[in-house]
Amino acid sequence: MTDQTQKSGLSRDAFPGVSDRNKAEKRFKVYGIAAIALSLMLLMVVLVSVFINGKGAFFQTRVNLEFDMPSGDQNIENWNFRKMVRDKLKADFPEASSRKDRRELYGVLSPVADMELEKQAHKLDVDAKAIHVSFTASDDVDLYVRHDGDVPAQLTDLQKSILQKWTDDGKVDVVFNWSFFTNSDSRDPELAGVGGAIIGSLYTLVVCLALSFTVGTLAAIYLEEFAPKNRWTAVIEVNINNLAAVPSIIYGLLGLAIFLNVFGLPRSASLVGGMVLALMTMPTIIIASRVALQSVPPSIREAALGIGASRVQAVFHHVVPLALPGMLTGTIIGMARALGETAPLLMIGMVAFIADAPSTLVDPATAMPVQVYLWADSPERGFMEKTSGAIMVLLALLVLMNGFAVYLRKKFEKRW
């Protein structure tokens, strides 16, 4: 503008308001950059906080002990593994003579120490002379070891001395906690994992995908390609758009009233959870699929009809394959939303404590966001790390799903 005014011989005064508009534009850019920077800063604060609190969930303290093979009966099924563990602890620490001291002594290891000994005993060779077992430490011991005693833990002086002796002897290790990904929920933080919740979420999403994608895409194809444009279809389209904005807990109430109370389906089952989430994601899939169909140029339809194809052939052989990437992208985004939903699942009873991973669609199950909700409400300090760790796993799954949607859009996208 300055060069043009100089060339034309006109002064800046001949264009009143230009300077003010330029200043307003600069202020708008500054406000926009500041808003983006603030959003990124807050996001980083949340992610860093979750990482700092949750990284401990991926590590676990193990105590390595050696047992002599029992004399006499060599049938492993007849061994009393609980007595073997307690006898070993009493032999190593004879100073724990009172009943209170022995209770503290036994509390150093997790409640499933006898099961871990039994599992290792079944792996022994016939000629083995000793049993080497890596035991899971109790929650308080685990926190105390991993944080070098900086975290307040409910350890007594006797337990600290026991732990110090084991540490000096090299019997205490901190290893990666694979059981966090394989175990189901537990009352003991050191044994709790997200394996059961991941399987429950997988079953739920399979049901949700099978119902919502099939019904949603077919509904979108009919409304966009075959339905007459009249008052009734206009009403249906408006209601579909309204359903996409309905709070998710309403769908949970609908599932509770219809699927559980009317049809009598099992409470807290992945089947019911998937059906409820399908109702919630179906409007989103319909809207995204219609937009994908609208993006296909009309010339594709006209060319197919011009060479003798029927209306159905033109749509399903030519239009739908071109719109499919956009339809799949909308579906994956809807699935990602369903993966993070909690309120609908709480209404149908998936908030129950589930100690075993489900094996079928009708078994009692829980889901990842519900597992986070349950652990966040637990008073034990160890569950705070488990909660943040589960959030990290859930965020990783959401990022993978959204990344897959972006990949599909970039790979199959057609530009006209």
Closest CA to 375 of 112, 46, 57: 57
What mean pLDDT do residues 309-316 have? Answer: 90
Cα-trace Rg, the chain: 31
pLDDT value of residue 8: 52
pLDDT value of residue 9: 54
What mean pLDDT do residues 153-163 have? Answer: 84
Q: Residue 12: is its pLDDT beyond 70?
A: no
What mean pLDDT do residues 383-406 have? Answer: 88
Q: Residue 212: is its pLDDT beyond 70?
A: yes
What mean pLDDT do residues 192-197 have? Answer: 91
CB burial of residue 378 (10 Å; 0-12, 13-18, 19+): middle
Residue 222 has which token pair?
């009919």
**Is residue 62 helix, strand or coil?**
strand
What mean pLDDT do residues 84-112 have? Answer: 89
CB burial of residue 243 (10 Å; 0-12, 13-18, 19+): middle
Mean pLDDT of the chain: 86
- 195-412: CATH topology: MetI-like fold (1.10.3720)
Share of the chain above pLDDT 70, in %: 92
Domain borders along the chain are 16-55, 59-188, 195-412
